[in-house]
Amino acid sequence: MAVAVGEKHREVGKSGTVVPGPVLLLGAPGVGKGTQAQAIMAAWGIPQISTGDILRSNVSGGTELGKKARALMDRGELVPDDLVNQMVADRLQLPDTAKGYILDGFPRTLGQAEWLDSYLAERSGGLPVVAVSIKVGYTQLLRRITGRRNCPVCKSIYNIYLQPPKVDTLCDLDGTPLARRSDDTEEVFEERMRTYESLTAPVIEHYRACGRFQEVDGELPVDAVTAAVMAAVLRLRGAAS
C-alpha cells in the first residue's frame, strides 16, 4: 500500500487562509519524515526539500557532489555542512518555495541550523521557521528502516512489514520494481543513530529553545501522524489552537 498523500487534509490548503511558510521536519532515521513530507506536499501544495533525496540523485548522477557524498552516506556519516548548505541555498532560490516548503532531513547539525537561521533572517519579509519533531522508539525505527522499499520512479515509500505494496515488491502506482537503499542495513542504521544522537539531537534542542516547536508521536498510523503534524504547523502559525 502506498503512503497516504493527505487526501483527508487537502481542504486546509483550499481554504486559502494557510500560508505554511518554512516547515522543518526533524527526527531520527526512519521516523517518517519523508512519508509525512509527501503527504503535506500533496495537501498544501508546497515542495518537499529532502537533502537525502538531493544527495542520492547526485550520487546516481555521478556528479562531483555525489562522488564526495557517496562513501559518507554508505557509512551513515554526514556530508560536510558547507556542501549541504550550498545545496539548500540553491534549492531555496526556486520560485516554488514562495508559499512555503518542507525541509526534510535538514538541518541536522548545529552549524546547519545556525546557517539556516541567518540565511532566513537575511531574506526580508519571510515567515520564520516552525519545527516539528517526530518521535519513534528504537525497535520500531529498526523495523521501519530494514523493511523500507522505495519506488525509484515516483518515489512512493513502502515497508514490507508495515506498508506493503499490493503485489509482490512492485509499486502500486506504476508497477516499477521497488528498490532498497544501500544505507538501510541494520549495521549502517546503528551508525546513523549514533550520528543522530551526537550531531542532530542538539538541533532539536536548539529549535525547542527558540519556540515555534512541537513534538508529535510518530508511532501512530501514517494518517494520524499527518493530522498531528499539520495541526502542529497550524498551531505554531497561530492559525489554530
The three three-digit cell numbers of residue 28, written as one number: 531520527
Q: How far apart are CA 9 and CA 223, in angstroms?
A: 9
Q: How far apart are CA 142 and CA 125, in angstroms?
A: 41
Q: Is 151 in the site for ligand AP5 (CB under 6 A)?
A: no
CB of 232 to ligand AP5, least distance (A): 15
Helix 33-44 and helix 222-236, axial crossing angle in degrees, nearest 10: 60
Using CB under 6 A, which of 6, 13, 21, 76 touches ligand AP5? 76
200-203 own/partner pairs: CB under 8 Å, 24+ apart: 200/26, 200/28, 200/108, 200/109, 202/110, 203/26, 203/107, 203/108, 203/109, 203/110, 203/112, 203/113
Q: Is 9 in the site for ligand AP5 (CB under 6 A)?
A: no
Q: Is 91 in the site for ligand AP5 (CB under 6 A)?
A: no
Q: With beta carbons less than 8 A apart as the criterion, state whether 37 and 73 touch.
A: no
Exposed, middle or buried: residue 170 (CB in 10 Å: 0-12, 13-18, 19+)? middle
Residue number, 130 or 216, with CB nearest to ligand AP5: 216
Q: Is 30 in the site for ligand AP5 (CB under 6 A)?
A: yes
Using CB under 6 A, which of 5, 26, 42, 84 touches ligand AP5? 84
Using CB under 6 A, which of 70, 148, 212, 237 touches ligand AP5? 148
**DSSP code, position 95:** G
Q: Is 199 in the site for ligand AP5 (CB under 6 A)?
A: no
Using CB under 6 A, which of 4, 55, 102, 203 touches ligand AP5? 55
Using CB under 6 A, which of 70, 91, 108, 237 touches ligand AP5? 108
Q: Is 156 in the site for ligand AP5 (CB under 6 A)?
A: no
Active site residue 181: yes
Q: Is 103 in the site for ligand AP5 (CB under 6 A)?
A: no
Q: With beta carbons less than 8 A apart as the criterion, state whether 28 and 193 touch.
A: yes
Look at phi and psi of residue 181 and say left if phi exceeds 0, alpha if psi is from -120 to 50, else beta. beta
Q: Which residue stretch of 58-66, 142-150, 202-210, 227-235 sits at the interface with ligand AP5 (rule: CB under 6 A)?
A: 142-150
Q: How far apart are CA 156 and CA 164, in angstroms?
A: 11
Q: Catalytic residue numbers?
A: 33, 108, 148, 181, 192
- Please give the residue ranges that form the binding site for ligand AP5 (CB under 6 A): 27, 29-35, 51-52, 55, 72-73, 76-79, 84, 105-106, 108, 112, 144, 147-148, 157-159, 162-163, 183, 192, 218, 221-222, 225
